[in-house]
Each structure stands twice: as structure tokens, then as C-alpha cells.
Amino acid sequence: MKKLIAVLSLVLGVSPLFAADTDYPTKPVTVIVAYAPGGQGDVFARLVSEKLSTIYKQTVLVDNKPGVSGTVGTRVAAKSKNDGYTLLLGQTGEITVNRLLMKDMGYDPMKELVPVVLIGNAPLIMLAPADAPYNTVNEFIQMARAKPGDFSYGSVGAGTPGHLSAVALGLGAKLNMVHVPYKGVGPLLSDLMAGRLQAFFSSASAAMPQIKGGKLKALAVTTPQRMTSLPQVPTIAESGLPGFSYTLWGGLFAPVGTPAAVIDSLNREVNALLAQPELHARLEADNVAVPKNTPAEFAEYVKAEAVKFEKLIKDANVKLEQ
């Protein structure tokens, strides 16, 4: 039978791989999220899995496997069987950054995982205490230069997008600032509000309630374009650092060797889901950009992100213990 399928496929111009996988999936699919529930990646995974379950008429489960900056869950996904039934909701850190800062992870995400589809791209917001004497990035830079070593910024860990955004600002503006890592956003925001920190590059979801409540103020956003919900807040690129672009992105990845037909099916269905007005509006309301993309386009994007972070980490001499 396999030989007959192969012969017919050659005659009809269809690959045997595609012919064998047109009925995917035939059993439940698991999407691993390498962090605890509630984060941006978890939101992406649950939005997509719920809809895919209906389309595929198979259960698509979200499995949270947090630990060690996302390496625990990512390792499980990378070492899973490459049949399309175990996927990863991969994000900036666990795909492009951790490998540059951590030794002996036991896997290489750039070699053992293949991009399937980019789901969303979320901005970071540069926050400052509400009563800080600076209201713009330029004013922040001028004051930080005048007091080298006195300005500090918080993050939820070395190598996180918030940390590296601050590193990029410091490098580009030639600032000498102190990095203060926290184990959670709550204590960090409390210290920022109290003025014990001078800045924090936050996710929009964590920042917006504080901005609206007048407890913190937004100096800039890290995306190339302004946020629709904060149109008065400029980008950092507009504020004197052309080309500055750091985001929280997330997308589906599969173990290397996963059949192309499976990857194409997932890409096609997820893009169709993201184009639905209801889902598109829901993500845009959270200031998430939803770009339509092919697996090849997503792969090029990941490569570009990897190159960007490699240069930043090398130029700034970033170490995990910072």
C-alpha cells in the first residue's frame, strides 16, 4: 500500500509525506507553555488551542511546564516525537536569548525546534515613577548621564525582554545604570512606585492598570510604531535611538523533522483564526500586533531576532548573574 501511495503521489505530483498527513490530527495535540499560567505566552496558547480544537475536531491541550527561565518546558518540547502532536508556544527568551546566557541547557532551540507560525508581537512600555522629574526618554537620559551609577532599573530576571530592552537603551545612550532583578512583577512595581527604581520595561498588560490609575507614567514604548491605546506616548526610536525595537513575541514551534504538511496545516489554520475579526480585535485590544506569516517568514524573523540579541549581549557583555 505504501509503495502504491508513493507511485500515485509521483504521478499526481503530490509528495508521499503530504498524502500521509492530510488527515492530521487523528488524536489530541499538546501545546507546551514553558511558564506558569497567566503570562503572555499562556494567553496566546489558550486562545489558539481553544479554536484549533473546534477546527480539527480533536482536543488541543495547553500544558504549562514552568522552570529555569523557560528551559524546562522548552527542553521537553524539543525532545518530543516529531509527529506534530507536541508543540511549543515559544517566546523571545526561551528561543533566542537563553542559549546565549545559559550553559548546558541540554538542547539547542535554534537547531531542534522549527518555527510554525508567529501568533503575536506585544510591546513593552518604559515606566517611571509618577512623580519622577523626567517625563520623556531624552530627559531620563540627560539625568542618568548626569548621575552615572545612581539610576537603577528593575527586571524580572537577567535575559528577560525587559532587562535586555534596558540594556539596549543604556548601550545606545551610553548610560551607566544598575540592574536590579526581582522574582516577580509585584514587588518590582511597588519599588518603582516608591521611587526606589528609576525605570522598568514592562509588558503592556502589567503596565496599563498602573498608568490608568496614575501610579506610574509611561515614557515610551519599545515597538517601531506607537500603541493605539497610548497614542500620545512616543516610541524609543522616535526619542533618539533609531531602529530600537524590542518586543514580547510568541508563536508555535515544533520539533525538527515534523512533517511539512503538518506545519503547513497548523500555519494555515492559525493564520485563519487570527484573521477572524473577534480574535483579531481581542488581541489588538491588548496592543498585540497580529501579522500574517508563513513558516519561512517566521523562521527569518526568528533568525533576525537571534542575530540582534547575539550582538546586544556581546556588545553589552551581558551575563546571567547580572
Other CB atoms within 10 A of residue 183 CB: 9
d(CA 313, CA 318): 5
pLDDT of 2 reads: 42
Q: Topology of 26-120+247-316 in CATH?
A: D-Maltodextrin-Binding Protein; domain 2 (3.40.190)
d(CA 197, CA 306): 29
pLDDT of 284 reads: 83
Say whether 123-221 and 26-120+247-316 share the same fold: yes
d(CA 108, CA 114): 11
Handedness of CA 255, 260, 266, 272 (dihedral sign): positive
Residue 24's H or E segment, with its range, is: none
Question: Is 239:137 a contact under the CB 8 Å cutoff?
Answer: yes
Per DSSP, which regions of 222-274 are E strands? 247-255
The conformation of residue 93, written as its DSSP 8-state character, comes to I
- In 3-state terms, the chain is what percent helix, strand and coil (to 5)? 45, 20, 35
pLDDT of 219 reads: 98
104, three cell numbers: 548546558
Q: Which of 97, 89, 92 is nearest to 119 (CA)?
A: 89
Residues of the chain with pLDDT under 70: 1-22, 321-322
Cα–Cα distances (Å) from 108 to 100, 102, 194, in that order, read 10, 11, 41
pLDDT of 13 reads: 39
Sequence-ordered alpha helix ranges (H) in the chain: 2-12, 16-21, 40-56, 71-78, 92, 98-101, 109-112, 137-146, 161-173, 185-193, 204-212, 260-275, 277-285, 295-316
pLDDT of 244 reads: 95
Say which amino acid occupies 287: N
Question: Is 207:189 a contact under the CB 8 Å cutoff?
Answer: no
Q: Which of 51, 61, 57, 58 is nearest to 273 (CA)?
A: 51
pLDDT of 22 reads: 60
Q: Would you list the domain boundaries of the chain? A: 26-120+247-316, 123-221
Task: Please say whether the structural domain 123-221 has been given the CATH code 3.40.190.10.
Answer: yes
295-316 helix and 161-173 helix, angle to the nearest 10 degrees: 60
Cα–Cα distances (Å) from 140 to 9, 54, 189, 221, in that order, read 64, 49, 18, 14
Provide, rounded to the nearest whole percent, the portion of the chain with pLDDT above 70.
Answer: 92
